[in-house]
Structure 1
């Protein structure tokens, strides 16, 4: 099946309010709750895969007054949330919803189970009197594949996928298979196919993510990395060059998002933080080069495509930090494009950043992600500028392959095969910490 650049943007670049893992849990319970006649729940039970568990444990949920946790996300999704809003399902949170959710939690009616199999998967089962409603989300954070009420399948809901494929695979599976078969030259050529409608959409993504950055810079949310960089520049302890500008803007947005700011992010490849990394470093460096706005937006479009390309190899969720190797690769490709590089420079820049950041692990979503986005943004600028200076990692180095395409394939192998035990160990450490805190 053939896809277009417009298909990639439509499927991979969407608004998300809050970290996409707890939001996906809330979407699951909201979808199940929408099948029930009332809002009096006797029990709420969810099953999540290890990576959803890892990423939803500690991150602050926007609009919740600082609350966190999978059980909290599940409870919040039960009341007053509109599942048709997808990853913006928590936009309607208010004090009444918060109080009802807290009551559900205090009464011990919410139970979270760890599903041992890997691969994005969330089951939500809500019981209300004699009625039992269930939803299943799989593969993508907003992909509700099944709805049942009292054991009977619901097949006519607008929440279910509306675009069946002839192969039996999901549309996203077909897109990822197609992406994996592309060459970098073919991806680079896609930039020319972005039309005015696409550019307008890309600018909307910039605007959303800039609002998060401005919030982080103003309030010092989360860890306050962006605001700290801002102060260090003003104190002349840091130089405000391209890399620092990229780090400042990107980490400030992550501070706000991970700190629970009730502002949506334009995500990329299923992650809001990927979206921040794919967009903001490019926007941050525009003042250092001659450009027009269209060129900046085309560079951001390229960044989204490369991010999706790398994620198609590494998987949606893994032990590898996607902000570093996927969105970081996207950002460095976009920066290379904006500063006048060609497809060969882009290929070299991607190799450079993979060699630099391939070992960065994902240990769940939390305020500390701002540090990793800070690193990825700076490394994206550095990798691009090095490539333009003829500095490219050699094919004989480590996991770097004979081509950039092969290098990305090697990252996929590392993610799927080499990091399985690492992922289990990360989750084990996090669970032990959580149990220790509860004692």
Structure 2
């Protein structure tokens, strides 16, 4: 709180914070504006049934702060940009040109950002087309539930797709504006704002359905979870690094000691997004096929629907929970192996005369860093998986909210992880800017 108070005392930093808050408010206003052609009154009447039956877009709806259920202009949300960013990062390992751009510094990063924007538009167009197509066939939020007006034609469906795509592009632009001119990471703050707006309604649902005792138990559990997430997210393995004496020009620089910080949760929340998206793909494909094939829609009592789809649409099923946990652990190792190369780290240390005490520079250093990182990943991936499956376990315990049927409860799991991580990152940035503004220098 002292950092926030000091931030508002600084004129430039105060303008950045107010600018950020203003854009977040605009985002939440847009999330309440329904897309033309949507029967908003009908959706409002059936909102409880819709949330219980929608398992495909639960993660998108959580990140959009409920905008998907209303089919608003921001229904697609920020997910296309997140997916595009992940794809571009993964392609840097496969495509040599992307890897070269990554090493070119600011100019290369600008080009990578341009590619990410183009891919975001394509993904937003594809996703909005899928949402509108399923809504037109009454397959989006439940079997046979109409969400569009009766007189919506082909032109109206095209307009809906264009509006939702434009909304996703507008959110991308707003997120980049917050990152450049505001405080914190814009995309993360928009996701956090969407999740935070769902907390009061979900808390009221828990209070009305479970009573004061269960509500108090959930609040205590959330506080314990927040403390645990802060403890793990701030946790680091600090590897000591020493730099030998070296000559640069005519000047000799003495021996210095520092450390290399390796986070316990190096992958962040990306593995959870990967695993959730992968689990929803079979459901989405099955719904599209059955909506196009009347015979397949009538013959839904087959092996695929009885075994695979029934498990994937039931987050309280223990098979679903185990598969979800294993996928998160797998993607944690996969994503970190793509993002963090211990051999590059070892080469950079060797280039500048750095070494780990007791470890020879070069390949032995790389093998040691990889060994330490794998040990940290075991703890970090299990922690990430347990946090993510917590809502599913709470469903089995009888804690129900309007979003808990999808495994996307805002009081646990991925939501708390995102809220706490973004809050910590934003506060760190505010504190650093406050220190920079108050630094007087040596001459004063």
Return the TM-score normalized by structure 2. 0.26
Higher relative contact order (CA 8 A, sep 6+): 2
Return the TM-score normalized by structure 1. 0.26
- Indicate the structure (1 or 2) with the bigger Cα radius of gyration: 2
Higher helix content, 1 or 2: 2
